Structure 1
Amino acid sequence: MTKIPAPSEKTSSQTSGSSFRTKPDWIRVRSPGGVAFTETKGVIRKLGLSTVCEEAACPNIGECWTKKQATVMILGEICTRACAFCNVKTGLPDKVDPMEPGHVADIAAEMKLEHIVITSVDRDDLEDGGASQFVKVIEAVKARTPETTIEILTPDFRNKPEAALDAIVKAHPDVFNHNLETVPRLYPTIRPGARYYTSLRLLEKVKERDPSIFTKSGLMLGLGEARLEVHQVMDDMRQADIDFLTLGQYLRPTPNHVEVSEFVPPENFKAYAATARAKGFSMVAASPLTRSSYYAGADFRRLKEARMKKLANNAEKIQGEAF
């Protein structure tokens, strides 16, 4: 197992006292712009859709939109929770838009998307947490562009998780993503509206219902987590049979959000990735700028290839044992 160079064992109490820490060179990105970026923005505006790229102030928006890639955010722009790291607005959400599924299907068709990522705000005001809207969007995209693969990044549906999962699994997205975000110890301050084991169990239940759906989850680093805590989360994820792990640097969006505890060096991300692969993840994406949807389409293709290779190896092993 790869040893992480100069591992940080800081806790959340050891954060910087400054309002904003200077970002290291490896965090710098180009300002968004260009023809392709403007075209993507135009399509999104025309259809009246929201994107997590904008709402969460993603550092990769320039690169992704230039490549005609965007993560669509359904169920409005206002979240019912107030996580300490998140830039999405909090308050009383608007009514669910019945035209939204069709608009998402339109963007998949107009941008000729091979792979689409659909996420949402938390909607604890809705009885099903918004699960039925996810289902409608999945069905609309499949009807309009059946060749488009679908990845969803969901909330925890804490009101009725069992019914929500039954409906979503039946709709059969290609990838079910739900981020754990941070280590259990930091949940009370970083993600107070959620519970670590509830989120972990959600992913496990997807696999129990349909093993063919890829499951995916991610952590933000630099919030005060210790190295061994990250390793334990990896073990928990593998116990839940999660296929794909993402690790990225937490970046503070405004002075009103929780401070960055540290900027984790790229070499530490590489070491974490090596550890994760050794623990059995089919796919690992780990770098300071990695986000859940970053290179999602290309990663999905590699994830399918990894599964096919694993199935082939298992078949050869069984055949060899038979003789």
Structure 2
Amino acid sequence: MVTVLNLVDKPRPRHPEKAHRPDQEVLRKPEWIRVKAPVSKGFLETRDIVQNNNLVTVCQEAGCPNIGECWDKKHATFMIMGEICTRACAFCNVATGVPTALDANEPANVAKAVKQMALSHVVITSVDRDDLADGGAQHFADVIHAIRESSPATTIEILTPDFLRKDKANALEIVVAARPDVFNHNLETVASNYLTVRPGARYFHSIRLLQRVKELDPTIFTKSGIMLGLGEERNEVLQLMDDLRVADVDFITLGQYLAPSRKHHPVKAFVTPDEFKSYETIAYTKGFLMVASSPLTRSSHHAGDDFARLRANREKKLAGKA
């Protein structure tokens, strides 16, 4: 039997800010959530490229169970603007605290790694940077521009913070103007869980953010994802789907929440593969162009293949209207 491993090459940060009690009940992982430890040549090569360019990946920071599969295929999600987040979401394994200054060389380093790995599709995400006037929007744009210059054929997917209270800096407009191919912003969970799971965020602000992207540039694909097993009710998940469709979101991902430690929000339930399949069917009937729904689904898992399908589905839909 194999288990999910935490594969960061440095000691994991402790999370004194995660307020949950260490004596909470921990549910045993079912067989369908277990993965093999990565040992492949491709995994090691990707790890070396990341380390040699002084880069951070969410694959490592979040302890993603798919890291072995993705890195073996030279897929990685780069996390920009440092390793320290200004928020303390109860589900997240990224350290909370006072961030360091932005690295002016980071856009060039990310672009260099993308070229070295010959990525056809890349995902860029970040920590929350509430300390910055624009929330890091210009840094996102700089990374996008650097990748475009060195690897013009590479499609770019970004997974952004919510840029809460950054309207005066035109944060969202700056990022959209850089024209990523996919703009992803995760809701993470249903509205009723925000106070305990995502206290620094606002559910309807995130919905409006995604809607505004489409208003600014209808050609950009929009995407959002949630974790199941955080105590949500089925009808709440369906309502969330409806809220995303009102915002004209194209792509939804649904995956199983896995608590990084006992200090984090506990897993309330392990959702079965059949239940995930049911959500997938319903989401398609609600009009999403793409749905990824399984226990091991993560925002950037199979992102390149999913983008190709997403683009094909849009073309098919437009052809049907002609």
* TM-score for the superposition, normalised by structure 2: 0.92
Matches of 1:281 and 1:190, distance apart in 2: 26
Match of 1:72 in 2: 78
Residue 50 of structure 1 aligns to a residue whose secondary structure is: coil
Residue 21 of structure 1 aligns to a residue whose secondary structure is: coil
Q: Does 1:151 align with 2:180?
A: no
Structure-2 change in CA distance of 1:161 and 1:176 (3 Å)? farther
Match of 2:12 in 1: none
Match of 1:131 in 2: 137
Match of 2:318 in 1: 311
| Aligned amino acid, residue 120 of structure 1 | S
Name the structure, 1 or 2, with higher relative contact order (CA <8 Å, separation 6+).
1
* 1:169 Cα deviation from its structure 2 partner: 1.0
Matches of 1:313 and 1:276, distance apart in 2: 20
Match of 2:88 in 1: 82
Q: Does 1:270 align with 2:277?
A: yes
Percent identical among aligned pairs is 61
Matches of 1:313 and 1:159, distance apart in 2: 40
- Contact 1:79–1:91 (CA under 8 A) maintained in structure 2: yes
* TM-score for the superposition, normalised by structure 1: 0.92
Q: Tell me the alpha carbon deviations over residues 274-306 of structure 1, each in whole angstroms, 9 at most, x when there is no partner.
A: 000000000000000000000000000000000
- Contact 1:207–1:213 (CA under 8 A) maintained in structure 2: yes
* 1:185 Cα deviation from its structure 2 partner: 0.4
Residue 266 of structure 2 aligns to a residue whose secondary structure is: coil
Q: Does 1:209 align with 2:216?
A: yes
Match of 2:100 in 1: 94
Match of 1:4 in 2: none
Match of 1:318 in 2: none
Q: Does 1:261 align with 2:268?
A: yes
| Aligned amino acid, residue 278 of structure 2 | A
Matches of 1:275 and 1:236, distance apart in 2: 14
- Contact 2:224–2:249 (CA under 8 A) maintained in structure 1: yes
Residue 183 of structure 2 aligns to a residue whose secondary structure is: strand
Match of 2:34 in 1: 28
Matches of 2:247 and 2:165, distance apart in 1: 22
Match of 2:259 in 1: 252
Residue 142 of structure 1 aligns to a residue whose secondary structure is: helix
Matches of 1:193 and 1:156, distance apart in 2: 10
**Residue correspondences, number:** 299
Q: Does 1:47 align with 2:47?
A: no
Match of 2:20 in 1: none
Matches of 2:226 and 2:47, distance apart in 1: 28
- Contact 1:83–1:192 (CA under 8 A) maintained in structure 2: yes
Structure 1 outlier segments of 4+, above 4 Å:
none
Residue 222 of structure 2 aligns to a residue whose secondary structure is: strand
Q: Relative to structure 2, which stretch is displaced further, 18-27 or 265-274?
A: 18-27
Match of 1:176 in 2: 183
Matches of 2:288 and 2:141, distance apart in 1: 27
Matches of 1:204 and 1:159, distance apart in 2: 16
Unpaired runs of 5+ in structure 2? 1-22
Matches of 2:40 and 2:292, distance apart in 1: 27
| Aligned amino acid, residue 234 of structure 2 | R
Matches of 1:19 and 1:86, distance apart in 2: 18
* 1:18 Cα deviation from its structure 2 partner: 4.7
Find 1:223's aligned residue among 205, 225, 230: 230
